[in-house]
Every structure is written in structure tokens, then in C-alpha cells.
A and B are shown apart, each in its own frame.
Chain A
Amino acid sequence: MFPLTINGIGPVGAFGAGLADFKDALTGSRKITPEITRVTTQNGDCDLPVFRADTKPLAEFIKPRKLRRLDNFSRMALLGSALAVADSAVPLNGSRAGLIVASAHGASATTFAFLDSVIDDGDALASPTLFSNSVHNAAAAHIAEHFQITGPTLSLTQGRNSLAPALLTAALWLQKGLVDTVLCGVVDCYCEVLGYCWQSYQPKCRMKSPELIFGPGEGSFFLRLSRTEKTFEPAKYGYLKRLEFDRTTLPETPFICSGNCGRYPLSADEMNPGKRLPFDTTSLCGHLPVAAGFDLAAAIALLHNQESSNGREKSAAAVLPSPTICCWEPRIEYRRKPLTGNCYWVTNHADLNLRKQA
């Protein structure tokens, strides 16, 4: 089933759109300015930094008339997938392609906008347009229509552990030969309710601590994947080497684990500096449940180009004893459980004996 070839990637977030923007942000050469939003909770008022994504680059891919129909959630998903396809520099044959869109909360902003229409105008005048765009698989439908993807499509929701089952499904489709390529990605959007919830769960206003400027975010990250033995050429971004569910020990290779914002302090083992790479993509895209996607993006970017200008990333590159990085996606629920999580390993070396597999 594995390895899978990573042919193209499309990250979208507060850092910008595309690998170049993401790398610039990762190395500290691109300044990220969160939007400050006033939130009132039971704990009082707070100016919350919100890491909003800018989807203006979507205009390069979509006609304005079609663009108007899309909500922010679908725009981020469509932009991420369009960037991944463009990045691969190979046109997508929709009849031999599959699509997977994973999200923790779906188009929550549109769901609440639909509720606004119910509350403001009454049940009988609820908005059909808002309802249809609030359905979980609306984004996948827009992407499929845009690329004419007629293979299998899957929308899934598994909270902060949404990426691993998405990658597994992509691998199974490719192994079965249903498709030659899979667009696989994660997306989550920000809305006022999520900001309220995010801040309400905080013990105190984080902005009071100048060193801890983080807040909720939004974004998408898509990969274009194919079967390694079908490619016969070095992958543009390496290989997704392995996937493991419910692992109860820490990865044996250097690993990335972010997206926690310090809300759930990691144990000493999890913080092990010898293995855990010393950076957190939360500072690039804010806190969002599908942050694991940006960890994978960071792993790919690090392996693709280990030159870094930022001190933190230099140290990250320095502790890379092997060409393989693991993304450790812990299952952190509402009470502390024994260490459990999903892992996926990405490598930039073709030490995979491709010829033998072919």
C-alpha cells in the first residue's frame, strides 16, 4: 500500500498560499499578521488574534462568476487543491482521479449563517443556498466539478485526527487501482462561534502574555498523491512512507507535533528534544484542529529544502539524523489518556527499492 509518491502540495493559510509562501513563513522571512477580533466570554473581553486565510489567489484558477457561489470553506479547499495540481505541473485526468476532503468542523461559518436565516426570517424562509453550502461534502462537490473528478470522492470528519484516515483511504484507492492519483487534503474555517469557544476554553486571555501570541486559525492543505511504482521517477516531494494508527510509543525518528498551542502541555517524553523537532506550525496558521496537515507540509518542506535562515529551523535541520520525518498526531481528548496517536512518516530519499516494487 505504501509508499505513496507526493507529486504536488497546496498549503493555504494566514501565511499565504503555496509552498513558497509557506516556506518563507517557516523560515521567518515572511511576517504573519493575525486579525485582531474582540471576543466576549464568561471570562471577560479579549482581543483575539485570528489567523485568517486569504483566498484571493483563487481568482487565478476560478472564473469570478463561479467564485461568487463559494463560501470561505469551499474557497480554501478549492484553492488548496488547485495549488496542489498546479504544483505537480501535470494536468489532472479527472476520470482517473479520486478526491478526499477531511475536516473537523466542516463549513461551520456557513452552518451558522444558515441558522441566521432561520432565526431572522423564520423556518419557512430559511436560505437554500446557505443550507446546501453548509453540507459537509459541498466543498468536495465544488472541487470535483471544477476538475471533473469522476472517481471516488470522500468527505470525512475525525476531529484533530482527520488526516490519518484520509491518507489511509488514498493509499487503499491507489493500491486497488481505482484511480491513478488522489487529491487528498484537510480544511477548517474560522467563524465567530469558534472564536468564542476557543477563548472560552482558555484559562485566561493569552494576549496578556506577549510571548504567546497565538489564536484560532483556518486554512487548508492538499497533497497530490500517486502510487510510487507507477511513477518510476523521483518524487517531487518525496514519499509518504508509512502510516500507523493508535501508536502508544513515541516515534523512533525525528517528529513534528504541533497544533496544541500549549493548551495541553506535552509530557517530558513528548517534549524529548532529541526527537521532537523544535518548531510549531501553529505560529504560521493559528490553532486549528486539522493542524496536522501543516505539520506534514512542514515535514515535506524541511525535507525538500533543508536550507533555513531562521535559527529555530536551523536547529531543526541540525537534528535530522535521517532523511525521514514523522508527523505525530496525538489523540488528545478532554481528559489525559495514555499516550496514543497516529503517525505518518515522510521521506525524501528513494531508499525504497522502487525497481523491485515495480
Chain B
Amino acid sequence: MRVRISGIGALCACGLDLESAVSALFQERRPPAAARRFQLHHPQDYPVFELPPSGLDKPDKNQPWLRTSRLAVAAAAAALEDSGWSKEENNLHQLSKLKVGVCIGTTVGGSMNDEKFYRDFREAKTPGLQPIDRYLRSNPADVLADVFKLSGPRLTVVNACSSGSDAIAIGTEWIRSGVCDLVLAGGSDELCRVTCNGFISLMVGDRKPCRPFDESRNGLNLGEGAAVLILESKNLYSQRTITDETEKNRNPSLFIAGSGSACDAWHLTAPHPEGRGLKQALKQALDDAEISPEEIAFINAHGTATKNNDLTEGKVLKDMFPQTPFFSTKGHTGHTLGAAGALEAAFTAALLKMKKIPPSAGFKYADPAINHTPTTTRQTIDGNFALSQSLAFGGNNSALIIELGGE
């Protein structure tokens, strides 16, 4: 059963809304830079993709949460606006009476790791509990449910880099099973000093702008952002009043056609060399959508630019989708961790609607070990299905198939 995507909201380093971010995918990329909100102390700089300065930079009394949850609220508000739900106060009141779930992926948003608090604690300074209070009040799913006064299941997915796409897959099942009438599903993550040091310690960070699938790739650049999809049941959508403007935005319609999730069961930090879990997740998603690989018009790959990820992912794509164009958008956004799967699903939906795809940012020279080349120029595409996939730390693999115009 297809599940309607009735609205999308997204923000990342290449745009503070979906339209500008997708437009930026076709432009010269804005290079990553040293983090603005914190300092790292390494012999060399590790650039990041940070959001442009905005009102989201500091918590205030209206938004006293961690940055991750503030980003999630901004994306959710934009998604609701796009879906037509937030046009009138009355609409939101109606929403509060429905079964509305929230399923959000994150990594940083679920971690108690305030460095200043911990440094004070180590020095026996008996620090105040404000950072702990803020962490405890910042669970992304709880924040969204409380802000928009929603009643229904709340779930914050912490499946590392596949959290965002896993959250959308779970939200889809909530609609399919009738558990919810509507779901806010997506992912959100902020740039964080602790996480940056963690990835650098794993020696997977690049000191230059990342180059997914390129022979010279040498690791990832971290990024931040959020994306939320409004998933809506057929009954609810057909019953509610749709304004002309919203209808115009929606045509043609977008759907989650299928999803798949599987684990490598192989290694904590390395993907299975043959992509065992990814292949299984892809097969599951195709079966769920009831389509063949040939029907996929394009693939928004995970493409982190780490040696291992791109090698495994590239091999699997060549094996399963030898003729299908693919690209990575992380050259524009950086790796946004728990937001990545959701952000890339949002891009995939928007690009499917535009019927064109961008060149894979940062790619120049093919890697003979992969022997499969991503897009190097913008292309028009023909077809109604597109795939967005995520590979994660811990061996998680997740795939989403998005459809244009079906029911």
C-alpha cells in the first residue's frame, strides 16, 4: 500500500528550505568550512557543513531545547505548512484530535554529552543541572509531539546514519497498519564537537571537501540539518479540505511505495564487504513496492566518501542497478548522520517531481575498484520511482522507494 507524502520540510547547509536546498544541488557547491559554533583542536582543520547563521542558533525561552530539536521543529513546521495543515489554527486543532505519530531519527539528539557540564563534574565543581534538564527535555519525538499537541506513538530512532530513513519506514507502517492517521517522520541532527572528535578518531574525516565515489576520496565531512515528511492516510487526505494553493503544490502526488531494512551482522564500524545487508534491504524495498529494479529512475546513494562505504555501496549498485543513474548529495550537505536518510528522501522526492537529477558533487575520477560511475552532469529522468538508501554504523541498512503519481 502506497502512503501519501502530503508535505515536506527540510533545512541543511545548502539551503534553509527544501526549494533552495534542492536548487543548490544543481549549482557549484559551497565548500565546507571550520565550525562556527565550536572549535576543534587538531593539527589540521576538518571542515564541516554548518547551517548559515539564523534564529535557530541559540535556544530561547520559547525553544529551550538542544539545537537538534530546534532544527526538527523548523523542518516539521515547514512540512506541515507544505501539507496544508498549518494554514489555519483550526486545522492544527483538528490535528490534535487525530491519531498523529511522531517518528524522528537522530544521533546527537539522543546523547547526554554536554562537555562543559562534564568538565565541571570531573573537577568536583558540583555543576548545575541546566544542561541535563535541557537534554532530558529535548527528545526530538517528544518535542515535536508537545509543540504540535499531538496524541499518538512517539519514537526517536537512534540507528546511527540510517536513523532518518528508518524513521520514515516506521512511520509508513504506522499509516499502513491504521495505528496513525498522520505521521511526522524524518530526522534531525546538529553539528557537535564530541561527535566531530569521534569521527576524526575513527580516521574517516577528510580535511578537504568530501568526494563521494571518487578514486581520491578520503573520508567524510560532517554536516547538520533536518527533514520531516508528512505521511498521511488515504482516508484522512480524502476527507480534509484542501486549498487550491496546496493542491497545486501537491500535483503530481508523492508516495512512499516501499521500504526495506536489514542488518549486516558483520562488524561494528565496517560494512559487510559484499553488502549483504544492503542487498537484502534493497530486495525487501523492491518487493514491498512490487516493482523491478529496472523501474527505478535514479538512486540517491548514501555516498559518504569514506573508502569502505563507497566501495561496498558502489559494488552493490553496479550489481543490482547496473543501468540506473546514481549520485550522492553529501558533497553539498556533508554527512548529517541521523538526518541524512530523511534529508535525502526529501531530496529524492523533490527531484522525482522535477524530473531531473544533479551531478554527484565532488566526483571527478572513477575508482577502478568500484567500476561504477555516478552522475557527472545534470540529467533529465523518465520514470515514476526513485530510491534513497542509507548504510549505517553497526551494520544497519535502509532503503526507501518513493513514487510519483501513484495511489
Contacts and interface: CB of A to CB of B under 8 A. Distances in A.
B158 A144 contact: no
B61 interface: no
A157 B156 contact: yes
Interface in A124-163: 124, 126-128, 131-138, 140-142, 144-145, 147-159, 161
Contacts of B277: 150
Interface string A99-111: 1000001101001
A156 B155 contact: yes
A168 interface: yes
Interface in A197-239: 197, 200-201
A116 B115 CA distance: 10
A124 B129 contact: no
A264 interface: no
A128 B137 contact: no
Interface stretch (B37-45, B227-235, B302-310, B318-326): B37-45
Contact of B155 (A111, A123, A152, A158): A158
Which of A40, A41, A153 has the most CB atoms of chain B within a 10 A radius of its CB? A153
A115 B118 contact: yes
Interface in A143-196: 144-145, 147-159, 161, 164-165, 168-169, 172, 175-176, 178, 192-193, 196
B261 interface: yes
B59 to A, nearest CB: 16
B156 A156 contact: yes
A122 B113 CA distance: 16
Contacts of A140: 159, 394
Which of A135, A140, A175 has the most CB atoms of chain B within a 10 A radius of its CB? A135
Nearest to B122: A119
A68 to B, nearest CB: 14
B151 to A, nearest CB: 5
Interface in A75-134: 94, 99, 105-106, 108, 111-112, 114-116, 118-119, 122-124, 126-128, 131-134
Nearest to A169: B170
A99 B154 contact: no
Contacts of A201: 129
Contacts of B43: 124
B145 to A, nearest CB: 9
B158 A159 contact: no
A154 B166 contact: yes
A148 B122 CA distance: 39
Contacts of B155: 156, 158, 165, 168-169
Contact of B173 (A126, A151, A156, A172): A172
Given A123-B40, A135-B393, A148-B265, A153 B159 contact: yes
B157 A154 contact: yes
Contact of A158 (B156, B197, B202, B267): B156
Contact of A137 (B159, B194, B202): B159
A128 B179 contact: no
Given A42-B126, A158-B142, A164-B153, A137 B112 contact: no
A136 B107 contact: yes
A112 to B, nearest CB: 6
Contacts of B198: 114, 126, 128, 131-132, 134-135
Given A122-B41, A152-B261, A132 B396 contact: no
Nearest to A1: B177
A61 interface: no
A265 B170 CA distance: 35
Contact of B139 (A1, A158, A197, A200): A158
B277 to A, nearest CB: 6
Given A126-B198, A151-B262, A158-B156, A115 B393 contact: no
A126 B197 contact: yes
Contacts of A172: 170, 173-174, 177, 179
B284 interface: yes
Given A99-B263, A132-B269, A132-B393, A157 B139 contact: yes
A136 B158 contact: yes
B31 interface: no
Given A132-B269, A246-B151, A123 B177 contact: no
A231 to B, nearest CB: 21
Which of B110, B111, B265 has the most CB atoms of chain A within a 10 A radius of its CB? B265
Contact of B263 (A128, A133, A151, A245): A151
B376 interface: no
Interface in B107-135: 107, 110-113, 115, 118-119, 121-122, 124, 126, 128-129, 132-133
A1 B177 CA distance: 8
Given A137-B392, A145-B265, A145-B267, A159 B118 contact: no
Contacts of A151: 262-263
B346 to A, nearest CB: 21
Contacts of B132: 197
Contact of B110 (A127, A138, A157, A334): A157
B313 to A, nearest CB: 18
B115 A94 contact: no
Given A126-B201, A132-B393, A159-B136, A150 B173 contact: no
B396 A245 contact: no
B226 interface: no
A128 B394 contact: no
Which of A1, A142, A156, A200 has the most CB atoms of chain B within a 10 A radius of its CB? A156
B201 A128 contact: yes
B157 A155 contact: yes
Given A111-B194, A145-B268, 10 more contacts: A115-B194, A118-B197, A124-B42, A126-B201, A128-B202, A131-B198, A137-B393, A155-B394, A156-B155, A156-B156
8 contacts: A114-B194, A123-B197, A124-B41, A126-B198, A149-B263, A168-B155, A168-B179, A178-B284
